Amino acid sequence: MNNITFLIKKICCIGAGYVGGPTMSVIAENCPDINVTLVDLDEKKINDWNNSDLNKLPVYEPGLKNLVEKNRNINLFFTTNLNQSISEADIVFISVNTPTKTNGLGSGYASDLKWVESSARTVAKYASGHTIIVEKSTVPVRTAELIKSILSSSCNISEGNNSKTFSVLSSPEFLAEGTAIKDLENPDRVLIGGEDEYAIEQLSLLYQKWIPKNKIFITNVWSSELSKLTANAFLAQRISSINAMSALCEPTGADIKEVSRAIGADSRIGTKFLNAGPGFGGSCFQKDLLNMIYLSRFYGLEEVANYWEQVILLNEWQKKRISKLIIETFYGTVSLKKIGVLGFAFKSNTNDTRESPSISIVNELLENGASVVIHDPKVSEKQISKFFDNEKIGQSNSNFEGRWRYTSDLNLLFKDADAIIILTEWEDYLHIKWKIMSKLMRKPSWLFDTRGIVEEEKLNGSNINFWRVGKGFIKTT
Ligand SMILES: NC(=O)c1ccc[n+]([C@@H]2O[C@H](COP(=O)([O-])OP(=O)(O)OC[C@H]3O[C@@H](n4cnc5c(N)ncnc54)[C@H](O)[C@@H]3O)[C@@H](O)[C@H]2O)c1
């Protein structure tokens, strides 16, 4: 394999979302001699990627703006012209969404591959010469076979000398939103699953432009696909495990922060993913777990499926127990209560709201008649409005029982609020002056910290009652 020359000059990536956008920006930055084009069917998204105001990029990630500013229209392009980008590309990354199926066979569990399939058909139609296809999307085991069968039927119909050939590789993405650029610049490892030595070497040489060779793992295709699902299942399991313990800490007088620190210091366990919270969110953990549960059941492994399903059930329970606890603190009714919600993104440093625990917690409060005001440094009102019925949007200055409003002004959020709930661990919220802000609130006032980011001393001099996940009621007046 050592004598293979690197021949990649043009890259096309189908899907300009949370994975495609950051991944291609990092490739463009590290490979100035390669032209990288992101294509998407969503015209609005492509316009946003091309917006001269870099604050309007469709994806928020620390460091992304700089990369786009530096490389856009030099060797990094955003377009809806799939046809041309694919036909010119030596390598095509498929980075489209693979959500859980909502109907048909496997509904509620299996991943919907229709976007992967339609991408493969588009590649089959427009590709020319030899094209390497890389699965970046997270897909069920053996999806590469589906892609291959679509591509090979297209080879059969190619005419004359205009023959097309394809190699299919799996190279799942392990980035975490919020640290995507760092993860892509300096990954723990990258996987390349495949059989075709030439294609594997080309992709490996591409990665080697900035990633040390010893971090590039070559596997068979199915190991590569299953490794991605397994990684997400293990990470989600850690969150559900620590959240389960947070619930046990609260009535026993233990503090989850102390427990996390104690167990995290054990090198066999490690410190990461040990923060208790309102439950995991994001587009991947639940979807990938459901997919693995589906696969396990498909192969007759009921116990394996049940084992992993418990991780999801615990996550649902954690969200419910938090909204219930808040409502019960107000003696079972939050109607006529104003509740300020700090954070709507599923975690800090991203504008992604998919499967955010904020959705179900806010919804539960609205169902119980609360008037909810939401703040998030990077999520817009429009984005939040997708999750709630239209009639639940509150009018300003009127009674908005059972409805929500958005504000970018923390003073307005605190004004006359009965409770504040921290749902996303944004750094901005670490700097809140509780003594001053709590004066704006109605008495008795409450703070529910579902992320465990507020230290008790920060509340000194305020009359605020305080509940923290994994510790319980710390201060009640
Ligand atoms: N978001 C993450 O943190 C993350 C991390 C690792 C892996 N993944 C996986 O990567 C994949 C993409 O995730 P994402 O979060 O970037 O999704 P996304 O929804 O943000 O982006 C997918 C994009 O693909 C576009 N698209 C769909 N079909 C298309 C087609 N036929 N032609 C052109 N464009 C098309 C959509 O318009 C959308 O903009 C998923 O399989 C996901 O599981 C996601």
Q: What is the 3-state secondary structure (H, E, C) of 71-111?
A: HECCCEEEECCHHHHHHHCCEEEECCCCCECCCCCCCCCCE
Enter the pTM of the model. 0.95
Q: Residue 163 class from Cβ within 10 Å (0-12 exposed, 13-18 middle, 19+ buried)?
A: exposed
| Domain residue extents for the chain | 10-219, 223-477
pLDDT of residue 152: 86
216-219 and 190-193 strand pairing: parallel
**SS3 for 60?**
coil
CA distance 217 to 174: 13
Distance, C-alpha 393 to centroid of its chain: 26
Q: In what order do the strands lie in the sheet with 76-79?
A: 76-79, 35-39, 10-14, 91-94, 129-135, 164-170, 190-193, 216-219
How far away, in angstroms, is 355 Cα from ligand 1 center?
Answer: 15
Task: Encode the chain (477 residues) as per-residue pLDDT tens digits.
Answer: 557 899 999 999 999 999 999 999 999 999 999 999 999 999 999 999 999 999 999 999 999 999 999 999 999 999 999 999 999 999 999 999 999 999 999 999 999 999 999 999 999 999 999 999 999 999 999 899 999 999 888 775 444 445 789 999 999 999 999 999 999 999 999 999 999 999 999 999 999 999 999 999 999 999 999 999 999 999 999 999 999 999 999 999 999 999 999 999 999 999 999 999 999 999 999 999 999 999 999 999 999 999 999 999 999 999 999 999 999 999 999 998 999 999 999 999 999 999 999 999 999 999 999 999 999 999 999 999 999 987 778 776 556 888 999 999 999 999 999 999 999 999 999 999 999 999 999 999 999 999 999 999 999 999 999 999 999 999 777
How far away, in angstroms, is 228 Cα from ligand 1 center?
Answer: 15
pLDDT of residue 162: 56
Q: Nearest 5 degrees, angle CA 344-CA 78-CA 158?
A: 120
Please identify every residue annotated as catalytic: 284
In the chain, the amino acid numbered 172 is P
How far away, in angstroms, is 116 Cα from ligand 1 center?
Answer: 9
* Element counts in the chain: helices (H) and strands (E): 16, 15
Evaluate: CB of 97 within 6 angstroms of ligand 1. yes
Return the number of other C-beta atoms located less than 10 Å from residue 373's C-beta: 25
* CATH fold group of domain 223-477: Rossmann fold (3.40.50)
Evaluate: CB of 177 within 6 angstroms of ligand 1. yes
Evaluate: CB of 16 within 6 angstroms of ligand 1. yes
Q: Indicate if 223-477 has the same CATH topology as 10-219.
A: yes
Assign domain 10-219 to a CATH class.
Answer: alpha beta
Q: Closest ligand 1 atom to the C-alpha of 180?
A: 3
CA distance 241 to 253: 18
Q: Closest ligand 1 atom to the C-alpha of 139?
A: 41
CA distance 269 to 241: 12
